[in-house]
Amino acid sequence: EIAAVLFFQAMRYRASQPAHPSNDRFVLSKGHAAPLLYAAWAEAGFLKEPELLNLRKIDSDLEGHPTPRLPFVDVATGSLGQGLGAACGMAYVGKYFDKASYRVFCLLGDGEVSEGSVWEALAFGSHYQLDNLVAIVDVNRLGQSEATPLCHDMEVYRRRCEAFGWNTYVVDGHAVEELDEALRQAAQVKGKPTAIVAKTYKGRGIPGVEDAENWHGKPMPKDKVESIIGAIQSRIQTHQVLVPQAPIEDVPQISIAGICMPSPPEYTIGDKVATRKAYGVALAKLGAANERVVALDGDTKNSTFSELFKQVHPERYIECYIAEQNMVSVALGCAARDRAVVFASTFAAFFTRAFDHIRMGAISRTNLNLCGSHCGVSIGEDGPSQMALEDIAMFRTIPGCTVFYPSDAVSTERAVCLAANTKGICFIRTSRPETPVIYPPEEKFEIGQAKVRGWEECVGGELLGDPGSMAASLSQACWIPEQKGAPACSQAAPARGGSVKWLIFKGGGECARGWWHLAGLWSPGESSQAGQRCPAPVPAGVLGLGQRL
């Protein structure tokens, strides 16, 4: 009933063009209900009914949880508690950037409401008065293994949603008229998002299954299928073809391809500049180059220097406060359908809290740029809780993720521009201390390409490698009087490791790294491969932080 009213009464969209920018958005936060989503799109005419029989088959895009392999899915769901945050991001873009008529609908399960990220999203939605957003909570009382904490206590749900600033309706989720009326009223509300709390019964109308535990994710017994189908069909009151309302086509045309900085970096070799500040400067410049560049932060803008973006582009800065999980989900929603070039920043250590949301962003094939500051032990006086030591290891596991660890202000600015034009998730790692500028403003950078200083003097000696703020220190170390043997050169490692290995093979020297946890370095397999490919035995030392903090 909920899906029927949504798809064929409340929502406006072109069924033949699911990703049309003027279409209303729908996020199935309770991703395990994917068959419902597929059935709705089949009823709308986009999918052919026989395709539904391929559900969960290895050669079918109709997976057990929806992904953007399907054109009607904007963000992957299934890891619960994340859909509403993404819906908030879509609604924010629709209201404040596109200034368009499309609305955003999100269907949640009552089980996932136990996730704290849901309440982070509820707080965000009301704070920014997202009156183009409707969250529908399917309260069927049952979780995966037992009843949910509140069961069918609908008044508690109402009070909690209202306490978070949402216009709230409690309805019978099986009553089409009540659902229709609630959605009609929601469309008239201004200044608040709407929550529709729908009381439902899992397996309604199926004897022995309705409102019974231990049926989550289980198929019906084969000997009962015919009778169950008959019972459902007997409740259908009309067989007329349902056609959704057409969208109001008022979304502006935009372009986010090929964004270039308006001017080269304005730094001189030897200047002392923290890479975190260079990030803020670069982001502000990038925002001047394209009005679809958007910045989010988790109440650390005066540390990450995203405040420099806010100062010149306040209308495109989104404060997400201390709710990193929701910040990432909102960022994913902002980037959906390529409506914005999104940068989100906080301390790199705090992104670990949002790892699952980042992982789902990769599954969503989202173009999202994350900047983590205060990396490494250079902020030692603050203690280990603030040090990002695990972040490189974490982001290296994200499929398709590009990791930038710039060495100075110039390479930081170049990294920001590269990230804006790179598909997939990008992570830019910045540091708090001021470090010397080692590259001229005209220096060119490419993803996957290493930079080596002093190569002419290095062959046959040592190669000291570090991607990031230690590069300047290593450069200084290279010029220490040669009292212990061969000379050395320094290397600032690239975003991807192929050329790093090549340099080590050719240089035949030692590679030293630091400022992160050892687990975030090369894997044992990569180290072994490097040793096997060298023409002669090479002493390869790997420096980093061990198990004790």
| Main-chain dihedrals φ then ψ at residue 324, nearest 5 degrees | -65, -35
Work out the angle at residue 130's Cα, subtended by the Cα atoms of residues 168 and 83, and round it to the nearest 5 degrees. 80
- How is residue 245 annotated by DSSP? B
Q: What are 3's two structure tokens?
A: 């899906």
Angular region, 383: left φ>0, alpha ψ -120 to 50, beta rest? left
Question: Are residues 410 and 441 in contact, defined by beta-carbon separation less than 8 angstroms?
Answer: yes
Largest alpha-carbon pair distance within the chain? 92
| Main-chain dihedrals φ then ψ at residue 426, nearest 5 degrees | -120, 140
What distance in Å separates the CA atoms of residue 342 and residue 296, rounded to the nearest whole number?
8
Whether residue 155 lies in the annotated active site: no
Question: Are residues 41 and 244 in contact, defined by beta-carbon separation less than 8 angstroms?
Answer: no
Give the burial string for 247-256 (b: 16+ CB within 10 Å, else e): beeebeebeb
Work out the angle at residue 418's Cα, subtended by the Cα atoms of residues 414 and 419, and round it to the nearest 5 degrees. 115
Question: Are residues 399 and 103 in contact, defined by beta-carbon separation less than 8 angstroms?
Answer: no
- How is residue 142 annotated by DSSP? B
Residue 53: how many other CB atoms lie within 10 Å: 9
Amino acid of residue 16: S
Question: Are residues 141 and 201 in contact, defined by beta-carbon separation less than 8 angstroms?
Answer: yes
Question: Are residues 21 and 339 in contact, defined by beta-carbon separation less than 8 angstroms?
Answer: yes
Residue 384: how many other CB atoms lie within 10 Å: 13
- Exactly one of 63, 112, 115, 324 is catalytic; which is it? 324
What distance in Å separates the CA atoms of residue 164 and residue 70, rounded to the nearest whole number?
33
The strand pairing partners of 428, in sequence order, are 371, 404
Q: Which sequence positions are flagged as catalytic?
A: 324
